Amino acid sequence: MTITETPATPLLPSPPTTADGLREGVIGTSPVRPDGIAKVQGSFEFSSDIFAEGALWGATLRSPHPHARILSVDLSGAWKINGVEAVITAEDVPGVLTYGLITHDQPVFARDIVRYVGEPVAAVAADHPETCRRALEAIVVTYEVLTPLLDAEAAIDGSSVPIHPDGNLIRHQRILCGDPEATGPVVVEGTYEIGMQDQAFLGLEAALAVPDSGGKGVELHVATQWLHEDRGQIAACLDLPVEQVRLVLGGVGGAFGAREDISLQVHCCLLALRLGKPVRMAYNRAESFLGHVHRHPARIWMRHHATAEGELVKIEARFVLDGGAYASTSSAVLINAVTHTQGPYRCPNAIVDGYAVRTNHLPCGAMRGFGVVQACFAHESQMDKLAQAAGLDPVEIRLINAMRTGDLLITGQPVESVAPVERCIRETAALAMPTEPIGGSDGDVMCLPGGAGRTADVSHIRRGVGWGVSIKNLMYSEGFDDYSTARCRMVNGVVTLKFATAEVGQGFVTIAAQIARTILGVDEVLLDRIDTGIGSAGSTSASRQTWMSGGAVDAACRQVRERFFEHVAAAYGLDPLRLGIDGTDVVDTMGDLRIPVTEAAVGVEFDETVEYRHRPTEDLDENGQGNCHVAFAFVAHRAVVDVDPDLGLVKVVQVATAQDVGRALNPLSVIGQIEGGIAQGLGLAVMEEIIQIDGRIRNASFTDYLLPTMLDMPPVLVALVEEPDPQAPLGAKGVGEPPCISVTPAVVAAIRDALRQVDGVGRDLHRVPVRPADIAL
Amino acid sequence: MSVIIAFSMDEALRALAAHPDALILSGGTDLLVEINEGHRRLGSSSADIATSPTVLAVDRLSELRSWTIDLERSQVHIGAGVTWSELVSEPLAGLIPALAEASRTVGSPQIRNAGTLGGNLGTCSPAGDGLPVLAALEAVVHLRSATHQRDLPVAEFMVGVKRTARLPGELITGVTLPIINGWQGYSKVGVRNAMVIATASTALVADRTKRQIRVALGSVGPTVLRCSEAETMLSAAVDWENGGVGSDQLREFGGLVAAASRPIDDHRSSAAYRRHSVGVMAQRLARRAFPLESGPPGQGKSSGI
């Protein structure tokens, strides 16, 4: 069904007004999302559900070795299997052999060397997934196994043999700020480690490629975060002009950064073009762990210098991020990490060195928080140490140092965004602490650490409280020309929006219609198909789409409204500047005219397309100085955690948060992002980690890669801090990433607090996820 | 692949006689995962049929899906096809509470509705949640084939990592468990508070009639382990009359339990933590069984907690 143009999606009819007097469906209300009911009922078409008559299945052969030379590839066994229609390798790539988001260093198929377990070597297309599986088994690849590079430090110091022509150091960045000799009477230091987290979206990688009948082009239906970036990389590999590669967004079941990079896109198109038939590909969970990039594991050393009163004087830091086998966005993740060293605090002096390196581990790239998650776990752990050393409590130390609008970052960049750090902390502190005693009031074992395992009794448990506060940049950085395109058409009073903004579950489709209803005074807004039939919207990443695509939709709607006012003004002999929208009416603000928009718009058509750009940013210089970021958002988290010190098991009892959102365009969506982000940050704090031993992943399943369930998720208390940002087109800041960042250190701080009650000392817990043995042994 | 669906015990046993190595399918919560993850291959084309194993589905056998309570002999017979959900429910939960507690830790509600106790025995994973309870209760496993039937103590049934004493052609029909006079309980450590594989688990039974403590451990050895030295020590140390035990004795008991474990390091945990955790769980279970603080036997009672 999906091959044909899908009709524009109508939105659900809504009651006329909300409790606070707003017209339902406009900005500030929380209308039902258009994809919501279908997703809940199971009828939403995810990309893995898309099919076409006569489509073949594709599958990928992957390297079993972290580092090996390919001596030979024998495809003959696969060709002998009935039902196999194509078997392809690097030899069959007509265009450039590599792709990548920043540097094109990752092969479509490995040709001579494989650099991680899971690297694609060949692909097949056949009549059935089971035929594909047997064909893959029949391909004989002879490898000469090489010593893998698994130690990130060895990649920095030059002692290791380069595992890639681009070398083992992906990027080094230094930041020097102020007086390097500055110090203070209070000095604390620590080395922190962050494990490799998986985005673990529930909708697995899947696509359908349909070749044009002439064989000259291809249409790809795919779950992705950025249609146009994919298109550019795919077209280069296929050696086709970009116009001949058309992308359509397949239903996306979550992304969190894991769909920024190419996974099966090129393979699927290659097979379809080779055969002149549609080809579907779909990863299973185990393959998904190999098929997308992950959060960078990091080792971070920090030394904080402060006055006796706890005011920050200087931060020294060294970051090592393991980028895995290919560069992906490692260099940008590194910049985000080092430029957020100070956290949401003023600090006049800093010396920071950051390294992103190449190893034979799984490739790492974008994941929600993008480098700031790693920095935040380190700086917040340090702030707690500093508080202890200075005799302050965790809230005081953070209030003393809280950043304000106009403060300078260690990059020399002034924070021009609204920066309500102090307010976030105070509003979080004002949220009620849990009133239930340890173990709950009705003796349900699920309320205790260990839960269903019945490992503990109430007397074994200590309750701790911990804090985390963070700063997160919004949008892309370092001079990137970032824009988003939107088109607004109003025909007979019915508005249709078109954009290429990837809806990955974050709810942009809801927001877009809210913007149009608000600006144009209409109730009915249609959304056109999301595809490359319009200019780029940029990536659904970096907490940027409400700001960027929201800005583009807003601007396109405003242009249509101008044309519409000109039309009404001409019809009634009025000055268009006197016209305005009030509810669903167009009104003369200085006279008596008031007619419904639907009536005034009969018989006319307006059509405007706008590209929205944020202000330009700069590269960092060699000392890490420069206005490299666009804007910032802030958040505070307070976690209450019950801990079983002897067994090392934990139960997060409550998370309270106040988040700087600028303006909540859709409060329910904002709360959804906050709760989801907290679940993801909680996962990193206490359970989520990809385990690689000798370069091989050991837990590529949801049996062993544990995600928090409903039973691990605590109640979340939320205060939205709404101070509209004057730089944001709608006053709204991105809200996607901040929730997952400082909740991780808050949970760990709460565990440390609980353990301190046992013996007055506690545990360092310098690593996430915190494992039971880290607490108990 | 061929699948035989048995509708009666006779049919099942005849099919097993014809295909002694058939894969036995009941709830499918182990077998289908193995197939889906490619650890076990079932051919799909005609060429594979000769070599691929036969699957025998036994989930429709009412004999396997039922349980009986024999109060006269103080025992319960549980068919191999009884699900975790049934074991969590009354009346079984009240008669064998440790098995109900273990059953509650298995997977999600959906998994508990499908997975069976017989499947847990058949797979015989060291992490099988029902197995430490069966071991601590000294359950008897019933096996039948077309030609014979036999009973095995569960300790003899479990041979090694995913290895049992079941012979080709035999079907696990059920287990018989004693209804004991005394306390019994199960604890399991995992990294998540539910729906998680055991990092380590412990079952403890305080059999007042026999004046015997029995302890069995999961996920800390190639198969479920009993801790005879610890059992003997604690059986002698507790105050059976008043339900008390001294904290020093508990610590000694925990140390002996930990020493009896034979864990390995793997991606789920270190051996050291597994060893430590069974010691802690055993002490806590024993304290639940004997809530009063008391001195060693013969020295009178010290103050309660």
> Does any domain span residue B303?
no
Q: Which CATH architecture has domain A298-477+619-776?
A: 2-Layer Sandwich (3.30)
pLDDT confidence bin for A216, thresholds 50/70/90:
confident
The residue among B42, B104, B191 with the most chain A CBs within 10 A of its CB, best to mutate, is B191
Whether residue B158 lies inside any domain: the answer is yes
Confidence of residue A57 (pLDDT cuts 50, 70, 90): very high
Judging contacts by C-beta atoms under 8 Å, the chain A residues touching residue B291 are none
Tell me what ipTM this predicted complex has.
0.94
In a domain, B40, yes or no: yes
In chain A, where are the structural domains located?
9-32+483-613, 48-146+205-282, 298-477+619-776
Nearest to A453 among B38, B188, B272 (CB): B188
Partner residue opposite B280 with nearest CB, options A646, A651, A709: A646
* pLDDT at position A718 over 60: yes
Evaluate if residue B71 carries a pLDDT over 90.
yes
Does residue A710 surpass a pLDDT of 60?
yes
Express each pLDDT in A274-299 by its tens digit: 999 999 999 999 999 999 999 999 99
Smallest Cα distance from A289 to chain B, Å: 14
In a domain, B305, yes or no: no
Give chain A positions within 8 Å (CB) of B201. Answer: 453
Q: What are the tens digits of pLDDT across the range B104-157?
A: 999 999 999 999 999 999 999 999 999 999 999 999 999 999 999 999 999 999
Q: Is residue B287, in this structure, part of any structural domain at all?
A: yes
Residue of chain A whose alpha carbon sits nearest to that of B30: A703
CATH code for the domain of B278 = 3.30.390.50
Out of A128, A457, A698, whose CB is closest to B284?
A457
Contact B177, B154 (CB under 8 A): no
Domain's final residue, options B12, B37, B57: B57
Residues A48-146+205-282, CATH architecture: Alpha-Beta Complex (3.90)
Q: What are phi and psi of A145, to 5 degrees?
A: -70, 130
* pTM across the whole model: 0.96
Instruction: Scan residues 238-297 of B and list those with Cβ closer than 8 Å to A.
Output: 266-270, 272-273, 276-277, 280-281, 284, 287-288
- Identify which of A93, A475, A240, A541 has the alpha carbon closest to the alpha carbon of residue A231: A240
Task: Tell me which amino acid residue A663 is.
Answer: R
CA nearest B281 in A: which residue? A455
Mutate to test the interface with B, among A133, A647, A711 (most CBs of B within 10 A): A647
Domains A9-32+483-613 and A298-477+619-776 belong to one CATH topology: yes
Number of domains in chain B: 3
Q: Which band of pLDDT confidence, cut at 50, 70 and 90, is reported for residue A14? A: very low
- A457 and B277 in contact by Cβ < 8 A? no
Q: Are residues B73 and B174 in the same domain?
A: yes
Name the DSSP letter for residue B233: H
Last residue of a domain, one of B178, B202, B228: B178
Asked if B39 is an interface residue toward chain A (Cβ–Cβ < 8 A), one would say no
Contact yes or no for B192 and A712 at CB 8 A: yes
* DSSP-assigned letter for residue A26: S
Q: Would you call A712 and B193 a contact, using CB atoms and an 8 Å cutoff?
A: yes
pLDDT at residue B44 tops 60 = no
| Mutate: best of B87, B192, B265, partner A, most A CBs <10 A | B192
Q: Is the pLDDT of residue B29 over 80?
A: yes
Confidence band for B39, pLDDT divided at 50, 70 and 90: confident
**Sequential DSSP letters for A37-60:** HHHHHT---BGGG---TT-EEEEE
**B110 touching A, CB under 8 A?**
no
> Per-residue pLDDT for A355 more than 60?
yes
- Which amino acid type is present at position B69? I
The beta-carbon neighbor of B189 closest among A453, A693, A708 is: A453
Question: Per the domain annotation, does B42 fall within a domain?
Answer: yes
Write the pLDDT tens digit of every residue in A752-769: 999 999 999 999 999 999
- Mind telling me how many Å the CA of A120 is from chain B's nearest CA? 19
Of B192, B267, B268, the CB nearest to A693: B267
Backbone conformation region of residue A107, classed left if phi is above 0, alpha if psi is from -120 to 50, else beta:
beta
Q: Rounded to the nearest 5 degrees, what angle is found at the Cα of A110, between the Cα atoms of A109 and A111?
A: 110
Residue B35 confidence (pLDDT)? 85
Is position B139 within any domain?
yes
Average pLDDT, integer, range B180-205: 96
- At residue A380, φ and ψ (nearest 5 deg) are -75, -35
Residues of chain B with C-beta less than 8 angstroms from the C-beta of A703 = 33, 197
Altogether, the residues listed in chain A come to a count of 777
Indicate if the pLDDT at residue B297 is higher than 60. no
Residues A222, A230 contacting (CB under 8 angstroms): yes
The predicted model gives A620-632 an average pLDDT of: 98
B71 contacts: CB under 8 Å, gap ≥ 6 = B179
Nearest to A698 among B37, B198, B267 (CB): B267
Determine phi and psi for A338, rounding to 5 degrees.
-70, -30
Q: What is the mean pLDDT of residues A498-513?
A: 97
* Chain B residues with CB-CB distance to A687 below 8 A: 191-192
B128 in a domain, yes or no? yes
- Arithmetic mean of pLDDT, A199-227: 95
> In the predicted model, is pLDDT for residue A179 greater than 70?
yes
Chain B positions touching A460 (Cβ under 8 A) are 284
pLDDT of residue A214: 82
Q: How confident is the model at residue B41 (pLDDT cuts 50, 70, 90)?
A: low
Is the pLDDT at B46 greater than 60, yes or no?
Answer: no
- Look up the CATH number of domain A9-32+483-613: 3.30.365.10
* B162 close to A (CB below 8 A): no
* Burial grade of A732 (CB within 10 A; 0-12, 13-18, 19 or more): buried
B53 band by pLDDT with thresholds 50, 70 and 90:
confident
Residues of B whose CB is below 8 A from A772: 189, 191, 199, 269, 273, 277
Name the residue facing B273 among A134, A456, A772 (closest C-beta).
A772
pLDDT band of A11, cuts 50, 70, 90? very low
**Cβ pair A367, A333 in contact under 8 A:** no
Residues with Cβ within 8 Å of residue B128, at least 6 apart in sequence = B120, B121, B218, B224
Pairing of strands A218-222, A298-306: unpaired
C-alpha dist (Å) from residue B161 to A518, B118, B127, B224, B268: 65, 16, 10, 9, 16
To test the contact with chain B by mutation, choose from A82, A448, A454 the residue with the greatest count of B C-beta atoms within 10 A, namely A454
> Rounded CA gap, A203 and B131, in Å?
35
Residue span of the structural domain in which B213 resides:
182-293
Per-residue confidence band for B51, with pLDDT thresholds at 50, 70 and 90: low
User: What is the pLDDT of chain B when averaged over all its residues?
Assistant: 93
All residues at 6 or more sequence positions from A470 whose CB lies less than 8 Å from its CB, including other chains: A340, A343, A344, A372, A376, A380, A634, A635, A738, A741, A742
